[in-house]
Structure 1
Amino acid sequence: MGSLVKEDVKMKPFSFTIERGKIREFAMAIGDRNPIYYDVDIARKEGYRDIPIPPTFPTAIEMWGGLDFETLIELFGLDPLKVLHGGQEYRYMGELCAGDTVTAAPKLISSFEKRNLRFITIGIHYKNIDGNDVLYSESTIIERGRTQK
């Protein structure tokens, strides 16, 4: 079970400014009707600085911010018809709200093959504008039916 990706794979850091409209769109897409994602006054009454992000919103930051599906396909030489989302984990270390700008530093954690499946795990550290850690995201991509070249 050796690595299938060169150790020197570098993913570009990116920045993203969180917008109220994107939070609203995301909440609507996942069917979350909690008013804190739609109304800044309600969010502030609940103790937030502004409209907070839903718990799984970092996936949207990655896709809109620079680590989209096409980039991953190209970077790792994946067959898009065989790719599955294998898992996702978020660790929050701070609050993220509309108006915040985060800088993301993605890094390849591991890549291996097992039972004709290729597993690629990517970790992303997010910092706020003050340079403080606010979030860590880790995702696993699975490519099924992998054939050695």
Structure 2
Amino acid sequence: MKTKEHEIIFNKDDVQQFVQLIGDRNPIYQSSERAKDYGFETIPLPPTMPMIAYKWLETPWELKQPIIHRKQKCIQHQRMYIEEIYKAVVEVTDQYQRHNLTFMKQTLFLFNRDGKLCFEGISDLTLGGLS
């Protein structure tokens, strides 16, 4: 199963909220000027931040309770920046049933405007079912 592609743009406020939440005080996330002082084009996204893309995505499937997030892996293939357009898609793989539980791998992919993969967020889930 796979979602439709969805365009996402992360902005400075998104980064500010995220770094405040995780307690990251790195100056590259504070302003474009500070980021440029450290050799970046503009404010980069923190490596795990693209996972918040889920808040803008609608999946055509519903995860049934209980939902247990067993493990997660974030892979940054390319540096990502604020105010750039990314295409997001979520795919479900490795789905199987055991007893009354469903086990699955759900992966968030983000691509840049050239179609190059920038980010993979892989979540291994155990849940009550999938509809």
Q: State the Cα RMSD in Å.
A: 2.0
Shift of 1:62: 2.2
Aligned to 1:76: 62
Equivalent of residue 128 in structure 1, options 77, 95, 112: 112
Equivalent of residue 140 in structure 1, options 103, 107, 124: 124
1:25 correspondence with 2:8: no
Q: Which amino acid aligns with 1:98?
A: I
Where does structure 1 lack aligned partners over 5 or more consecutive residues?
Answer: 1-8
Q: Any conservation in 1 of the 2:35–2:42 contact (CA below 8 Å)?
A: yes
Q: Which amino acid aligns with 1:128?
A: N
Q: Which amino acid aligns with 2:78?
A: G
TM-score normalized by the length of structure 1: 0.75
Cα distance 1:115–1:30, how it changes in 2: closer, same or farther (>3 A)? farther
Which SS does the other structure have where 2:14 is aligned? helix
Q: Does 93-102 or 104-113 show the bigger shift? A: 104-113
1:62 correspondence with 2:54: yes
Q: Which amino acid aligns with 2:57?
A: G
Higher-helix-fraction structure: 1
TM-score normalized by the length of structure 2: 0.85
The 4+ residue runs of structure 1 with deviation greater than 6 A are none
Aligned to 1:13: 5
Aligned length: 129
Aligned to 2:42: 50
Partners in 1 of 2:2 and 2:27 — Cα distance? 39
Provide, for residues 39-73 of structure 1, a one-character-per-residue CA deviation record: whole Å limited to 9, x for no partner: 2211111111111111110111222x214xxx5xx
Where does structure 2 lack aligned partners over 5 or more consecutive residues?
Answer: none
Aligned to 1:34: 26
Q: Does 97-106 or 109-118 show the bigger shift? A: 109-118
Q: Which amino acid aligns with 1:113?
A: Q
Shift of 1:86: 1.8
Q: Which amino acid aligns with 1:35?
A: P
